[in-house]
């Protein structure tokens, strides 16, 4: 059982949505493009309050990266952890270049001022486990 749990890790993050409001970002395309993929930017800006969705995606990236740090020495960039949505709205993770190495689950939530994400990551291949 302990060996099984060593192959699973969790991560979480919470952010102030104000950090991602249009006012702060309108002159900062460099920040947007460094952190988010084109799909994430398009999804977020298709919503009435893009900052809520950007903040939730930022939390999701942090949560995934925290979980991965417990499992692996892999250092992913923020825009290598892409958060997409299924047709029913539920989010899923596209680990760009690493989908064949890890299984991921993510849950997001946001209210007027904060966003939060919770992630579960497990190894697919045992060589990723820290020795």
Report the interface residues with ligand COA, using CB under 6 A: 53, 56, 85, 88-91, 108-110
The nearer residue to ligand COA, 73 or 89, going by C-beta atoms, is: 89
Q: What's the rounded Cα separation, in Å, for the pair 45 and 49?
A: 8
The nearer residue to ligand COA, 18 or 109, going by C-beta atoms, is: 109
Pairing of strands 81-85, 114-123: unpaired
- Angstrom CA distances, 116 to 28, 32, 70, 99, 122, stand at 23, 19, 20, 23, 20
Instruction: Give min distance, CB of 52 to ligand COA, in A.
Output: 7
Instruction: Give min distance, CB of 95 to ligand COA, in A.
Output: 17
The nearer residue to ligand COA, 71 or 81, going by C-beta atoms, is: 81
Instruction: Give min distance, CB of 73 to ligand COA, in A.
Output: 29
Instruction: Give min distance, CB of 39 to ligand COA, in A.
Output: 12
Q: What's the rounded Cα separation, in Å, for the pair 2 and 109?
A: 30
The nearer residue to ligand COA, 30 or 87, going by C-beta atoms, is: 87
Q: What's the rounded Cα separation, in Å, for the pair 128 and 75?
A: 12
């Amino acid at each position: 059982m302990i060996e099984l749990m060593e192959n699973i890790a969790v991560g979480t993050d919470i952010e102030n949505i104000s950090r991602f409001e249009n006012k702060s970002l309108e002159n900062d395309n460099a920040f947007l493009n460094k952190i988010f993929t084109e799909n994430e930017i398009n999804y977020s800006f298709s919503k009435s309050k893009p900052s809520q969705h950007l903040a939730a995606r930022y939390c999701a990236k942090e949560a995934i990266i925290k979980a991965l740090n417990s499992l692996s020495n892999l250092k992913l960039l923020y825009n290598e952890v892409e958060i997409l949505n299924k047709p029913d709205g539920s989010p899923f993770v596209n680990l760009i270049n690493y989908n064949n190495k890890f299984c991921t689950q993510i849950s997001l939530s946001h209210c007027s001022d904060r966003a939060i994400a919770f992630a579960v990551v497990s190894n697919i291949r045992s060589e990723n486990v820290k020795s």
